[in-house]
A and B are shown apart, each in its own frame.
Chain A
């Protein structure tokens, strides 16, 4: 009894965290079953599960994955335990609720990637909003309420257009099932699917995804959300949540409306290119470390959109790979920024300088992740960006030229930031006694670093699952078929 009295507060505080670690690890281990038993040469959906849920309207509990969603699921389950670990000490109040929200968010994210029923997809899509908004609004810093509401409203407003499009498709095809709708659209048996209607449907989906990505003019919610979010929120936001948008473009915009995607590719790519350059330039002048990483996400996600709308095999493969690599490396950057914040309670770059002396291990990890993010060969960022750029060059040379500058920009802002934070002498006295990484933090960082290296060295292990699925997407573009064979 006495022992319990003495330790009860510790137990109450840490049981949620411990349980969350266990649960999220268990999910991760379970999710490894997917790549292990995934038939890599098979382009269609696997692990298919289709149960009737509601008869009218005809909604199915239909799940399945292909090479596109496979790795995004594993990415989610990989990042969540790291998020739990990294939040262990930084969350002091309402710890239990924090981990509940984190795990609910994981459920929503995985749900988005596995759903093959449009209703189910929309269900999970909206369901991710609440936990993410609460994570930002309750556990965030400074202007957290503003950021949370802005995040919620931007994405909510955008996704209702998708809802309208989904309902239109249902009204015309009588089904919410992705595969059924896709076949109906391809065979041309859908009534009223004329030019204007098809364009509006394409845009309905596209706006929802573009805000989530976020594509250039819709990006203003992202820096706010990232700066105010707690570390775990930022990691999942940048690591996975943004990929919901690019995943959606790949799956739904290209999958359901290939012709409209082709027709609109030019302006979408222009927006993506603006995003790449603009995001990088704005990142360069940020005084706030987290905001810098946030703008770098806009720049990197621009690569993904560029790759997707280049309609080349390597572009799409690269887009998928950038999604994964960006999840790992930006997730790592946010974790590192969070670790520093726990020690100094600021993200201001000018507050630091010379940290390499008191925190050698930390600065090594930071450099490694920065290099991965910059796209150093043999690390994961390089592979994706290379493939995307090669695809962009194949499509239009100037797309590739402008896109390639993004790689240079990212080296500029990240390395410059690294220099200002870690090199030189310690300017602020309190920085000289900062403790280096402890065991828990190392445990959270090592997997991300190892993964960045492994993905850079052996990208084929990922790409050979992605390739058939991407091929399947591109196969709908008859005018490109010749080009594909040529490769």
Chain B
């Protein structure tokens, strides 16, 4: 059970204020770019949370949806379509893909679902790599036009930062609304026990499918923004390794908790950069760290941040 929204408003406000103040201290450059990527990752992880955190379905295909959104946007804008069409196109493409993946697989059990989503991600990646005339293949697509609505668009990293913060807030708000809606409760019920949920009248297949699609839409829109702000994409940013990274962001941050998604995404985007000096050892420590979190702090960093939340989270 999450604590009632009332208590978290001051914390949320403080975080927003801190986030808005960052560019004043750290002007245009490395940190802002890094935070922009972290915010995009956070949106993707928020999407993953619907599927894995709330509906309890393991999903290694989230990076593929991220990539589909990015590539749809890049291909569309480079073909001359106005930017405003790209969010809609991205959503359509990922919804179609998530249906293609979801419909046949919603009845599968955990290990089979894991393998299927891995397979899905691989197949998408292979298509991107080998469909060179359209996707640029392994060289990727560059000089992607930026965000432009009626000729206006963010210029420079800092303006993108504010835009992305705004989108993230919207994503959080929607997630919170869904969580406390009928659909949200159905997702949690499905995660806790599919059989019990079915007995209570929940259509678990439909619930899982909806969770999948919402998660995919989050990732697709994040991909659209990624392509339009970083303006260069290549298949290696959406690989199976990235899919695993997204899952660990969710788990390390705190699965099932909206704050956890943000914490996990920001932490695991910044940490590899901050710890680059460790070289090869970084990945060893990363792996051990993930195991440590899973074993010792299953609620993730979000649960450590507040003890009372941890007590309630462990009850589920």
Specify whether A and B are partners: no
A: residues with CB less than 8 A from B are: none
